[in-house]
Each structure stands twice: as C-alpha cells, then as structure tokens.
Amino acid sequence: MPRTPASTRDTPAAETRSAAPAGPGISRWIPIAGFALLLLSFTRQAARGLSDPDAPWHVVAGRELAATWQFAGPDPLSDFSHRPWILTQWLPELAMAGAYRVGGLPAVTWLASLGISTLCVTVYFVSRRWGGHLGAVVAAGMAALGAAGSLSPRPQVVGLVLLVVTVGAWLATARDHRVRWWLVPLSWVWACSHGTWILGPMVGLVVVAGLLAHRTLSRAELGGLVGLVLGCAAAGLLTPLGLRSVESISAVQAVSPYIEEWRRASLTSPSTLVTLLMAAVVLLTVRRSTLPRGVTLGLVAFAVVWTLWHQRTVAVGAVVLAPLVAESLSVLIGRDRPAVDRLERVAVSAALALSLALAGLLAATGSSAMVGVPHQADRALDALPAGATVFNTDRLGGWLMLDHPRVRQTFDTRVEVYGPAAIKNYFTVMDAGVGWQPLFDELGPDAALVADSAPLARALQDQRGWTVTARGAGYLLLQPSSG
C-alpha cells in the first residue's frame, strides 16, 4: 500500500494548531470561565443527596467483596435471585464501599461528584488537542448534555472516563500511527470497572479500518495496531472474572426488554437530539478535518449507532463525538487551536478543585440518608423479625439491603440476577394481574413495600385484608391484619 510521508501525515494541510500558546485575551479566558461554571453546576447533585436506586447495592456489593473476595458465584445480596452474580464493576464498588465506611452516604455522593467532574475535565482536555478553547468548552457542554442520563453515582461514569481517554489515544494514533501500548493495561482497569470496556477494542477497529481506507498504513504499522486491538481485548478477559465478564453481557441482554434505560433511544429526548446534532456538526466539516476522512466517518457512524441503540448508550455517542466536535467548531468559526499550556492546566485544575470542595461542603451539610425512600417505614421494618421477607418494588431493593439488612428484599434493580421469568412474575404481581396471588404467596412475604399507586397495594387491602402500617415518599408498607 502507498504510504503518506511522515512530514505530510503529521502536519496535514487542514491543521491550524499553532505551536505557541494563545495570549491572555478575552477569547481565551471567557470559554475557560464558562467551563468552570459547567463544573460548578454539577455540584447541585451533591446538594440534593443520594437518590439513585442502584447506588446502595453498589456499596453493599463492594463491602461484600472486601469481606469475601468472591468475584462471581451465587448471589450474596438476595435470597430470591436465580442467576449468578458477576461483579464486573468491582473496582468502583470497592471505592464506594470505602467512601461509605469513611463518611456514609455523603461521602458516596461526593465520590459521584468526583466522577462526573473528572469526566468533564477529561472530555475538555481531550477535545483541546483537536480544537480551541471555545470549541473544547462547547464540545464538553454538549457531551455533558448528551450523557446527562448516565451522570449518576454509578460505576458507568468510570467507564465513560476511560472511553474518552481511549478515544483520544486512538485519534492521536490516527494522526501519527504510533502504537500506544499503555491502552492494554488501561483496558484491564476498565474491564474491572464496567462492562463498557468492550468499546475500547471496537474504537480501535474503527480507527484501523479508517486508516486502511485512507491507504496510509505500512504493513508493520498495521500489524502493530492490530496487535494493540487484540491486546486490549485480551486484557479485558484477564481480570479476576476471566470469561465471565462476557457472560455478564449476555445476562444483561436477556433482561434488557424489561429495563427502561435499555430501551430504544427516543428521538424526542434532549440527550439524543444533542448527540445527533454533534454528529451533524462533525459531518459539516469532514472535508476539512485533520484526520483521515475514513476515520472521521467511521467514528461518526459508530457514535450514531450507539446513540440510537439504547437510552443508556446515548452517552457513548456523546463522548466519542466530543473531540471531533471541538475540531469542527474551531474550523467553522475560524479560530486557531493553540497548544494547552501550563496556565490553562492550572486554571482548569483550580476550577475542578473549587467545584469538588463545594460539592464536599454541600454533601456534608445535606441529607445523610437516602432521598426519595420511605423513611417513615424505618421503625416498622426494624420491628419485623430477623429474616422476614418483604415484597418490594425493585427501586427500594438496594435501600433495604443497605439500611435494613435484617429483612429479605425480594427484588432490586440488578434485574440480570433474577432473569426474565422472575421479572415477568414481578410485573404480574405488581399489576395484580391474572394469577398474581399464587406468585405472591410463593415468595412467602411477611410485608409488602410498594408504590401507593401500584394495583398490588389496593389488591392486598381489598382481597387480602392487609393494612397500611406506614406510608411516605409515595410508598406504602402493608402487613397482614393481626385480627
């Protein structure tokens, strides 16, 4: 294959980056000030406290792992699950359990702020390699809007951070053809943090295919890059889980029709629309990109597919597109793309430190308990005999694990460990549908904790004579009448 000379490959004609840093003008500092405000805006989550239904069971899972070091096997968190529990997110879960041990839920809330802020800063600096100050800030803001549904106190944020780093590395490789072997250990860490690790080798394949289409790779370069892709894939299979990390992906796919965030992305969703707008912006300037056209088009197609596939994967498309958007915006507005200097790093780091300090203050002075759960039922739940079974709405399962470990919750949001049949039965009972009573009795519940609007709540009172013993936050605790 013909090979492009290194001199033209490393400094394309469309390249507008200047070697010298920009001067201290208003065009430089206003965007950075805007980025600082973006970071500060995320501290509002810390003020609101922890309400995500998954966060508590992540804490419990990390605590269980620290005690047993069992990465897979029978589910230790529920007596009613039917499938093995595979801890594909064990590194962040250990961190969440450690934060909880040190500072309770406020510390977990702050840890979530750290993850979200780190994601934004990572997107900014990766985007700055391809665009100017304004382009990078706008790209980071659009990526934050596109990923809004995934910016929660869950390990998936770690996966998004590592995805941004990986995309940045492969974009650099698309320009200089260097084999960045450090992506292999990064893939290992990623595979220990979240199931999205499989996206890393996929991004690599897209870039290699784009370079092949551009006919700029020598055979030696092609061999090295293919070896890097294979190394990243192998690293993801060499964690303590081994091949079970792949098994977990199929388990989630089996129950995805029952998970709202795994449904098809809505074309009316602001996150979806923003991400598709990002793709459109990149396509507008594809002819003026400093990247080989095949790489740019491949990454846009990759991002759009993930954006439209599921609600949960819209964030993937947004962060993949961010650096490309930064370059496109800089081309459209005709601004230089100065190299990042020490002063800029200091300014962004100071903004990050300020936002994290404020998040810590808000978390420490905010709620120390879960938000949006029926604490009015705490006394009644604690009064139940040890080992009592509570039929519960899945959103409260993690909270029951964390705050009321003496009772046995029947469901939680880890739907993959229950399986499709159990989830169907769960919905039948919750809806008080045909045959709900034997399914309910099969679990042997001593109480029920469900939404006050659930048909089951009325059915238990009208058909079973159960009484409401506590209510709050839109939930009812029902128990059999003593009489």
For residue 21, what pLDDT is reported? 44
- pLDDT tops 60 at residue 5: no
| CB burial readout 88-104, b (16+ within 10 A) else e | bbbbbbbbbbbbbeebb
Spatial neighbors of 98 by CB under 8 A, at least 6 apart, are 62
> What is the rounded CA–CA span in Å between residue 21 and residue 341?
6
Instruction: Name the residue among 200, 247, 261 with its Cα closest to residue 87.
Output: 247
Whole-angstrom CA distances from 74 to 41, 78, 83, 91, 411 are 41, 9, 7, 20, 16
Instruction: Name the residue among 79, 84, 24 with its Cα closest to residue 338.
Output: 24
For residue 252, what pLDDT is reported? 76
Neighbours of 202 (CB within 10 A): 16
For residue 259, what pLDDT is reported? 75
Q: Report the chain's mean pLDDT, rounded to a whole number.
A: 91
Distance of CA 429 to the CA centre of its chain: 31
Spatial neighbors of 110 by CB under 8 A, at least 6 apart, are 46, 99, 103, 356, 359, 360, 363, 364
Instruction: Name the residue among 326, 335, 305, 328 with its Cα closest to residue 317.
Output: 305
Contact between 327 and 131 under an 8 Å Cβ cutoff? The reply is yes
For residue 457, what pLDDT is reported? 97
Kindly give the interhelix angle for 270-284 and 133-146, rounded to the nearest 10 degrees: 140
- Look at the chain and count its residues: 483
First to last CA, the chain: 86
For residue 12, what pLDDT is reported? 40
Rounded to an integer, the average pLDDT of 238-267 is 80
Q: Which residues pair with 475 in a beta bridge?
A: 451, 472
| CB burial readout 137-154, b (16+ within 10 A) else e | bbbbbbbbbbbbbbbbbb
* Higher-confidence position of 138 and 215: 138
For residue 337, what pLDDT is reported? 79
List, for residues 185-196, the tens digit of each pLDDT value. 999 999 999 999
Q: 482 exposed, middle or buried (CB, 10 Å; 0-12, 13-18, 19+)? A: exposed
Give the three-class secondary structure for 464: coil
> What is the rounded CA–CA span in Å between residue 145 and residue 281?
16
- pLDDT tops 70 at residue 6: no
Rounded to an integer, the average pLDDT of 16-42 is 73
**Token representation of residue 180:** 């960045």
Question: What values do phi and psi take at 87, rounded to 5?
Answer: -85, 80
> What is the rounded CA–CA span in Å between residue 5 and residue 347?
38
H or E element at residue 391: strand 389-392
List, for residues 114-149, the tens digit of each pLDDT value. 999 999 999 999 999 999 999 999 999 999 999 999
For residue 25, what pLDDT is reported? 61
List, for residues 427-468, the tens digit of each pLDDT value. 999 999 999 999 999 999 999 999 999 999 999 999 999 999
In the chain, the percentage of residues whose pLDDT exceeds 70 is 94
List, for residues 54-82, the tens digit of each pLDDT value. 999 999 999 999 999 999 999 999 999 98
The pLDDT confidence band at residue 371, using thresholds 50, 70 and 90, is: very high
Q: 21 exposed, middle or buried (CB, 10 Å; 0-12, 13-18, 19+)? A: middle
- pLDDT tops 60 at residue 7: no
Q: What is the pTM of this model?
A: 0.91
Lowest mean pLDDT among 21-30, 380-389, 465-474: 21-30
